[in-house]
A = this chain, B = another copy of it.
Amino acid sequence: MADVAGQLAGIPLFSGLLRAQYEALSRIGVSRSFRKGERIFSEGDEGTGFYVVCGGRIKIFKVSTEGKEQILHLCGPGESFGEVSVFTGQGFPADAVAALPSTVLFFPRVAFSSLIRQDPALALNMMAQLSMRLRQFAGLIEDLSLKEVPGRLAKYLLYLSGRDGKGTVNLDVSKGQLAALLGTIPETLSRILAKLNRRGLIRLRGAQIRILDRRGLEEIALEGKRLP
Contacts and interface: CB of A to CB of B under 8 A. Distances in A.
Contact of A137 (B70, B120, B134, B146): B134
B126 A93 contact: no
Interface string A106-136: 0000000000111111011011101111110
Interface residues of A, number: 48
B93 A145 contact: no
A131 B223 CA distance: 32
Contacts of A116: 120, 123-124, 127
A173 interface: no
Interface of A: 62-66, 68, 70, 72, 83-88, 90, 93-94, 116-121, 123-124, 126-128, 130-135, 137-142, 144-147, 183, 222-224
